[in-house]
Every structure is written in structure tokens, then in C-alpha cells.
A and B are shown apart, each in its own frame.
Chain A
Amino acid sequence: MTDEWKPKILGIICNWCSYAGADLAGSARTQYPPDIRTIRVMCTGRVDTLFIMKAFANGADGVLVSGCHFGDCHYLEGNFKAAKRMFLIKSVLKNMGIEDKRFRMTFVSASEGAKWAKVVEDVVKTVTELGPSPLKEFRQ
């Protein structure tokens, strides 16, 4: 623990696009940092703001929600509805004293393996630069 701090990042990703994209990054052996743990849901529409709050409350340093591009949702517009909801999260996070950059929603399709790798790289970079979540220190 002492040597190098590694961020704890939770990813909630949809089965049809981002999870498939992440799998594709795997088949293509596109390398990216390992600091993300993913939960698969069928659609980003399933993502309850509670999950994100819970993650931060539990000490996550960052959360990524990723789904299909608009217009590409397997369930027509679950991603759109999720995005509207996720938009609200940002201000709530600010009120909780968490930099809103710790939370991101992205759109990665099943054919965008390289993009997935890039997204994770980006998120890890952003969160690493921000350092440990202020909430985590507060908890301790």
C-alpha cells in the first residue's frame, strides 16, 4: 500500500455496446491500465444514481458509466435516459465535495475496442491526477 497509490475505479457498462467493446479491446490485445473493475448491466438505463453514490460513499476514486452511442441503444433509448440522469449526478457530487471529473459517462460501441482502451486510460489518468477521493479520507 505504501509504495504507490492506485485509484479504485468502478465501471458500469452495458452488455451490448461498451462491454462488447471492452471485449473487443481484449481480442485485439489493446493494452490499458488495470485500475478499473467493471459491472455488467444490460443497459445503462439500469444504472441507478444510488449505485454511483454508493460507490463514492464506499471510497471509489472514480466511476465510469459507459453505454451505446445515442441512436444505437439496444433498447432504443435507455442510454439517453441514463445520460439525462447522469447529468444530474454531477451537481450532486459537487455538493458532496467530490470533483465532478471523478464521474464520467462515455459512449463506446461494440466495434470500438480501441476507444474503450483510450477511455479507460483517460479516466485512470484523470483520477490519478486528482488523487484519492476526498470522501475516502473523510471516512478514515
Chain B
Amino acid sequence: MVDETKSQKPRVGVYICHCGTNIAGSIDIKELQDFAQTIPNVVLADEYQYMCSTPGQKKIEDAIKEHGLTGIVVAACSPRLHEPTFRTASKEGGLNPFRFEMANIREQNSWVHMHDRQGATDKAKDALKMAVAKASLLEDLFPKSVPVEHSAMVVGAGVGGIQAALDLASSGIKTYLIEKAPTIGGRMSQLDKTFPTLDCSQCILTPKMVDVGRHPNIELMTYTEVEKVEGYIGNFDITLRKKARGVLTPTEAETRGIVGGGCNGCGDCEQVCPVIKPNPFEMGMAPRKAIYIYHPQVVPLIYTVDFDSCVKCGLCVEACGEKKAIDLEQEDEFVTVKVGTAVLAVGYELFPVEKKTEWGYKRYDNVITSLEFERLICASGPTGGKVIRPSDGETPKKIGFVLCAGSRDNTGIGKPYCSRFCCMYSLKHAHQLHEKIPGSQSYLFYMDIRSFGKMYEEFYYRIQDEGAKFIRGRVAKIEEDPITKNPHVLTEDTLLGQPVDIELDMVVLASAVQPTEETNHVRHLFGVSQSMDGWLLEAHPKLNPCGTTTAGVFLAGVCQGPKDIPDTVAQAEGAAAAASIPIHVGEVELEPYFAMCIEEKCAGCGMCVNLCPYSALDLVEKNGRTVMQVTEAKCKGCGTCGGFCPGGAIWMQHFATPQIVAQIDAFLLGGEQ
């Protein structure tokens, strides 16, 4: 690492950005600029309206050559936003990009001290001093390029995951689609019709499911969960647990030497199985056996044994006969695959709305959830599409739809956010009701109708025209008539200013949605953060809604926040495109923030070796001494080893001890030298 600029006295150029009035409105730019001139090592202090604009960047590029700068400091927004921009500019100017340092005077200054001009300006001065101090000590660094595995993984095979997998695969990337349930399709396959076009959900989803099943680039793994994730962008090693499903696919059968065998979905086994359990796909409203499929259109069409309830009677094995598809002794298997990038599309579940006890779900027979309603009205559902009252099997004529059931709720019991699709599907439900049951009447109890998508307001208009009654009032409580079991909905019609008591045959709660129980587990595996409300956190809500802070990991669908099918599919396509970029480029640059051992100082104590979460460190013999050695490919640059080494023998590139100490000194001693 012979570096001619190193021996040179540092020459730092400082640029202060106004960001229109974003910064200049709260910080005295002139005062800051004057101050910058006095900071040691600063040879030039300039300011500009918008530093990230082309002329702004040009200033940097030109000055590097003109003034022989060895370091650049831009005082502007957060480095999380524009560090890459200015690194590129520095590079364009002929300076190593890692000699650039940013002083955050917007997000962490002008925007949070809007009414304290002096305080903000003083703070900006310190930030500048600190940044210059660091820039004076920065070194040339050279990012390592690593090749990217030409394959991707999609976790979760709802409509989001399906779309992402199809897009990735169609762009020529080998894609592993991982689904924990025995079939793909997710929530969408449980729906009857979809707003606002009223397409049959299965009809538009099934072709995609079939495509997944036969796409040459997709390796579909159902009844499978992610067990372990190692590595980094370009080179993830992901261990999968293939849960024992007790039934062999034809291919699996063949590898066991059973020619022409394996499950063909005939269902003979199901006929004979004596164990009856509720089918979760039908929201528990229909039975299934211990050996089961969710519904006739499952992909792949392979039965599954629920070993928690199977009594191992062996009747199914007998029924299956020559196909020899059933193996009741099967055990979980683990496989490890290597992928370049991954998309998480793990979806959502309903908020347990029984927690809002005032609505009596699970206490009153005729109060159901929206997903139960979807199954009831669906022709392939448990009643063959006949909507019935759970209490007596009668056809309900008056149905109430309770919107925001558990959403927009700050009591700590419900969810503070809007669940975003319940307004629209409740409109849809009202339509379906009117269509299916002549003479029926729907009542929608709502606070606001949020119909903000394309053709959504028009749909609202249509449903109003079809005769749905809208009552603007959040439901205070539901009471059951102890004799007829009719639910009474009590609320205030806030537009009338009058309390209402509406007796209905059935009530459907448009329950809030929430992240699934396992979401937290999955995000820990992939190192993805969560937002306050538990949904997976995108890298930037507007500018990087599919990315995460972990390079190479992307998000699609409701797991990132409530969204309907159009938005889910759009995001899935975005995530797939983003996930395919590094793969198509073929290599990625890793930030060169590796640890390095300063061998003269290393005592060989080995403490750092155990601290590294990625086992990047080893003790080795060198010139008769035991010293630590870093495997750069494994090091992710967290600096934990460097923070700990008692002898100060670890050099953390770009966050080296002298660089940080210089920042501390600049802040606290700066003025007193």
C-alpha cells in the first residue's frame, strides 16, 4: 500500500450545502464558511445551493485537480443519503473515494433545531471540525469485488413471492422459491373475488401458480423453512429445513428406486384416514384429514401428513398401495443452497380480533371475520359458496361489515395503522352479498372510506349505487340477542348525530392485519430491521421501498406493510428487478471496512477471535510469534474486534482509532489548541 498522498500534509476542501432553505434556513452558512477557513488543513471552503446537483458535484471534481486536495468534506445531508454521490464525484476528480467525509448538518442539525439558529450553527461548526479531522487522516481504500452467485431465493410464496420468483426466473436466474405451507398461493388463494375488477382470485392466481410449478429456472420447495443464513450479498449460504411431509413426490420416489411411484394426488389415502382436524385454509370451517391437501388446486399437488395429529395407523399406506408414496418415518432434511440475493415475501396474518372483546368475536356465533366470509362466499369453500349463518345455517339477509376492526386503534390492544385493504374488500363483500343473496342488505360501519387506488373511488360509487348502506360511525359494541342469536350493532351515526341499534343476521369484522408470528424470526436470520409496528423495514420509504439495510436482501408484499394485490405485485416486480441487478452485473463491490492486524502490536491473546460474529479471525504463527489474522472475505467490518483489542492492535479501515480519536479531539479540544 504505497501511497504518495499519505506522506503529504493533508489538504482538505470543504463544501457547505444550503439545500435551498433546508439548511440555510436554520444555519448561518456565511458564518460556517468563515469558520471553515480557520480549521487546520482546510485549503478551500466553498458553499453552494445544492451540492448534489451536477454543478455542485462539478465543483468538487474541479477543485481536486486545481488545489491538489487530499480530502473532501461536504457538510450537507445524511451520509446515508448522499455519501455515494460525493464519493463518485471525488473519484471523478481523481481522488480515492474513501477520502471523502460527510458532515451531517441537515437530518441531524438544521431539521431538528429549526428554531435555534445559533445552537444549530455552533453544532455545524463542530461537525465540520470533526469531519475535517477525520478527512485529514483518511486513506486510500480499494473495495473488493466479489463474484455474485447466479441464483436467488424468494421466501414466501403468496402472490408477492410468486411474482418475484417468476420475474427473477424469467430474467434467467435460477430461483429457489421457499414456502413453509404445503402449497403456494398465500392469502390470495383464500379469496373469492378481488376488487375493484372482481376477477375471480383463483382464476387469475392459478395460472401463475402453475407457471411456478413448471418454470425451468424455479426450484419450488414447499413445506420448507429457512433455518440459517450465512454469507453476504453475492454469496449467501442458506440452510433450508425441508419438513417431513410424509409423502414422496414422484421424483423423490424415483431416487428411492420406486419407479412410477410417488404421490399423484389421487386422494385415496385421505379417504381412509381416520383422523379429522379443522382445515386452516378454510379458516377451520371445514375438516381435513391427518393426510391432506388444502384445496383441489394446490401446487404442487402432493399430499402432506400432519404428524402432530397422525396416529400412524398405516391405513393410508395401504390405500396408496403400489405408488408407495407414503413414508410415515420420514424425517426433516436439511439442504444448503448458495444464492446471490434474496427476496422476503412472508406476508401477513389477521389480528386476533377477539381481543377487542366489545365485538364478541368467538363469543357470538354470527360474528365472523372477513377471511371467514371470503371462504363462505367462495364457490370452492366449505359451503360451496352458500353464505350461511353459523348459528343456524340460515341464509343471512342483513349483514353488517365493521370496518377498521382493530386498525387505527391506539389503545394498545389493536393496531395503530390503517390496514389499507379492508375498506376496499368490504365494499367488495357488500357487492358479493347483494349479488349472491337476492333481497339482501349490507350495512358498512366506517370512519372513512379509503378508496385511493386506480378505479377504487369508482368502485365505491358503484357499490353505493348497488344499495349498500353506509353508516359513518365506529362500532361501539355488538350485542347478541340471547334468543334469536341476531347480533345488534351499536354505534352512533355521526353524520346524523344519533345512536343506532341495528339488528342484523350476521356481522363481518374487517379485522386488522399484522405481521405473522414468524416474521421476526425470518428477519433476524436475514438481518432485516422492523418498523415500529413490526412490519419489515425498507431501506427508504420513498426512494428504496424494496431494499433493506442488508445488501442483497429485498422485500415484497404485505410483510413490508399492508398493501393490496396490485401494490404487492408491483413491489414484487420491483424487488425482483432490484435483486436481479447484482446478479446480472455479476459482481458487487464490498465496502472495504475490513479489520487489519497491526502485527507488531498484537499480543496473540486471541480475545478478538471469539468476539467476531463471522469467525473472520484466526490466530496464526508468523515469524515465530502468534498473531491474529483476518480473512477479509468473511469480515463485515463491524469493528467489534477493534473496539475490544486490549493492545490496540486492530486497524479498522475507515474507522481507525486515530481517525475516531481525531474526531473526539476536534470536538472537545478543537478551539483550545
The interface of chain A, by Cβ under 8 A from chain B, is 6, 8, 10, 15-17, 19-20, 22-23, 25-27, 29-35, 37-43, 45-48, 50-51, 54-55, 58-60, 68, 71-72, 74-78, 81-82, 85, 109-112, 117
Contacts of A27 in B (CB 8 A): 107, 111
Query: Bound state CA distance, A15 and B539, in angstroms?
Result: 13
Closest 5 CB pairs of A and B: A46-B639, A26-B107, A45-B640, A75-B638, A58-B668
- B664 near A54 with CB under 8 A, answer yes
0/1 per residue, B615-641, Cβ < 8 Å to A?
Answer: 000000000000000000000111110
- A26 near B643 with CB under 8 A, answer no
A77 to chain B, nearest CB (A): 6
B527 to chain A, nearest CB (A): 6
In the complex, whether B593 has a CB less than 8 A from a CB of chain A is: yes
Of B64-72, B459-467, B654-662, the one touching chain A: B654-662
Contacts of B80 in A (CB 8 A): 15, 19-20, 23
- A34 near B123 with CB under 8 A, answer yes
In the complex, whether B120 has a CB less than 8 A from a CB of chain A is: yes
- Answer whether A8 and B668 are a contact pair too, CB < 8 Å, given A34-B113, A75-B636, A110-B537: yes
A81 to chain B, nearest CB (A): 6
Contacts of B529 in A (CB 8 A): 16-17, 68, 72, 109-111
- A41 near B115 with CB under 8 A, answer no
Contacts of B660 in A (CB 8 A): 39, 41, 48, 51
0/1 per residue, B520-564, Cβ < 8 Å to A?
Answer: 000010010111100001000000000001100000000000000
Of residues 100 through 121 on chain B, the ones whose CB sits less than 8 Å from some CB of chain A are 104, 106-109, 111-116, 119-120
Contacts of A16 in B (CB 8 A): 529, 549
Query: Bound state CA distance, A19 and B643, in angstroms?
Result: 18
Of residues 117 through 138 on chain B, the ones whose CB sits less than 8 Å from some CB of chain A are 119-120, 122-123, 126-127, 130
Contacts of B663 in A (CB 8 A): 39
B659 to chain A, nearest CB (A): 10
- Answer whether A26 and B127 are a contact pair too, CB < 8 Å, given A60-B668, A111-B529, A111-B530: no
A37 to chain B, nearest CB (A): 5
Query: Bound state CA distance, A47 and B644, in angstroms?
Result: 8
Most buried by B among A23, A72, A112: A23
- A58 near B665 with CB under 8 A, answer yes
Contacts of A78 in B (CB 8 A): 613, 638-640
Query: Bound state CA distance, A80 and B530, in angstroms?
Result: 18
- Answer whether A37 and B638 are a contact pair too, CB < 8 Å, given A51-B661, A71-B524: no
- Answer whether A25 and B112 are a contact pair too, CB < 8 Å, given A45-B639, A51-B661: yes
In the complex, whether B611 has a CB less than 8 A from a CB of chain A is: yes
A93 to chain B, nearest CB (A): 16
In the complex, whether B495 has a CB less than 8 A from a CB of chain A is: no
A71 to chain B, nearest CB (A): 6
- Answer whether A46 and B638 are a contact pair too, CB < 8 Å, given A23-B78, A23-B80, A77-B613: yes
Among B106, B648, B655, contact of A46 (Cβ-Cβ < 8 Å): B655
Most buried by B among A34, A50, A71: A34
- A54 near B638 with CB under 8 A, answer no
- Answer whether A38 and B112 are a contact pair too, CB < 8 Å, given A46-B652, A78-B640, A85-B643: no
Contacts of A71 in B (CB 8 A): 524
Residue of B nearest to A76 (CB): B613
Residue of A nearest to B661 (CB): A54
Among B114, B127, B530, contact of A29 (Cβ-Cβ < 8 Å): B114
- B661 near A81 with CB under 8 A, answer no
Query: Bound state CA distance, A125 and B648, in angstroms?
Result: 34
0/1 per residue, B549-585, Cβ < 8 Å to A?
Answer: 1100000000000000000000000000000000000
B134 to chain A, nearest CB (A): 9
- Answer whether A43 and B120 are a contact pair too, CB < 8 Å, given A8-B668, A29-B111, A54-B661: no
The interface of chain B, by Cβ under 8 A from chain A, is 78-81, 104, 106-109, 111-116, 119-120, 122-123, 126-127, 130, 524, 527, 529-532, 537, 549-550, 593, 611, 613-614, 636-640, 642-644, 648, 652, 655, 657, 660-661, 663-665, 667-669
Contacts of B661 in A (CB 8 A): 50-51, 54
B669 to chain A, nearest CB (A): 5
Among A10, A41, A117, contact of B655 (Cβ-Cβ < 8 Å): A41
Query: Bound state CA distance, A30 and B648, in angstroms?
Result: 38
- Answer whether A34 and B120 are a contact pair too, CB < 8 Å, given A42-B639, A55-B664, A75-B636: yes
Contacts of A72 in B (CB 8 A): 524, 529-530
Query: Bound state CA distance, A88 and B639, in angstroms?
Result: 19
B595 to chain A, nearest CB (A): 10
Among A31, A39, A112, contact of B664 (Cβ-Cβ < 8 Å): A39
Most buried by A among B120, B639, B665: B639
- B657 near A50 with CB under 8 A, answer yes
Residue of B nearest to A40 (CB): B79
A to B CB contacts below 8 Å, 22 in the list: A10-B667, A19-B80, A20-B549, A23-B81, A23-B107, A25-B107, A26-B112, A32-B113, A33-B113, A34-B113, A34-B116, A35-B119, A39-B664, A41-B660, A42-B639, A46-B643, A54-B661, A74-B638, A78-B613, A78-B638, A81-B644, A112-B532
Query: Bound state CA distance, A20 and B614, in angstroms?
Result: 24
Contacts of B78 in A (CB 8 A): 19, 23, 26
Residue of B nearest to A13 (CB): B108
Query: Bound state CA distance, A43 and B593, in angstroms?
Result: 12
Query: Bound state CA distance, A85 and B640, in angstroms?
Result: 11
- A8 near B107 with CB under 8 A, answer no
- A31 near B123 with CB under 8 A, answer no
Among B112, B120, B652, B668, contact of A10 (Cβ-Cβ < 8 Å): B668
Query: Bound state CA distance, A89 and B211, in angstroms?
Result: 59
Query: Bound state CA distance, A6 and B663, in angstroms?
Result: 20
- A37 near B127 with CB under 8 A, answer yes
Contacts of B614 in A (CB 8 A): 75
Among B112, B530, B669, contact of A58 (Cβ-Cβ < 8 Å): B669
Query: Bound state CA distance, A37 and B107, in angstroms?
Result: 13
B540 to chain A, nearest CB (A): 10
- B109 near A22 with CB under 8 A, answer no
Among A32, A59, A85, contact of B112 (Cβ-Cβ < 8 Å): A32
- A37 near B130 with CB under 8 A, answer yes
A55 to chain B, nearest CB (A): 5
Contacts of A31 in B (CB 8 A): 112-115
Most buried by B among A26, A41, A110, A112: A26
Contacts of A22 in B (CB 8 A): 107-108
Contacts of B537 in A (CB 8 A): 110-111
Besides A33-B116, A74-B527, 14 more A-B contacts (Cβ < 8 Å) are A20-B549, A25-B107, A26-B78, A26-B107, A26-B111, A34-B119, A34-B120, A35-B119, A43-B638, A46-B643, A46-B652, A55-B664, A82-B640, A82-B643
- A29 near B640 with CB under 8 A, answer no
- Answer whether A42 and B655 are a contact pair too, CB < 8 Å, given A81-B640, A109-B529: yes
Residue of A nearest to B593 (CB): A42
- B550 near A43 with CB under 8 A, answer no
Contacts of B655 in A (CB 8 A): 41-42, 46
Query: Bound state CA distance, A139 and B78, in angstroms?
Result: 35
- B549 near A59 with CB under 8 A, answer no
Query: Bound state CA distance, A42 and B594, in angstroms?
Result: 11
B647 to chain A, nearest CB (A): 11
